[in-house]
Structure 1
Amino acid sequence: MNKLKEYRKTRGITQKKLSIRCGISIVTLSKIETIKNYDVSKKTMIKIAKALDTTVQELFFSDEEEENKNE
């Protein structure tokens, strides 16, 4: 989930601040950012996307779709 980390950092938000906004632990947020196939619930994806002022699609899925189109 490198894109999540990029979005967070470009907005100047720390993991701690984002985890508080989303109501998830820093450990969970860190796992989402670093583990490629981490199983994130739909509810958590929505919370994170809202906190970063973007969409779930853009934050979690847009790169995968581009990769699939290029294959």
Structure 2
Amino acid sequence: MAEKFLAEYLRLSVEDGDIISNDTKAESDSIRHQRELIARYIRDRQLYPAIRPLEFVDDGYSGTNFVEVR
């Protein structure tokens, strides 16, 4: 049987901008909070216990600065 994955998609909030210094950006609070909420939701409901989560993160990109790659 093929291995199954649970896809988790985290995306930057427009209001979130965590510039540390010299334009270095830490992981945004929005991404961290989304990760915690998704993990808690899955854990509390005991969803997909045998399926490994696969995380996709768009930190630093939003609908306002997304560039299509061809």
TM-score (norm: length of structure 2)? 0.28
Richer in strand (by share): 2
Richer in helix (by share): 1
TM-score (norm: length of structure 1)? 0.28
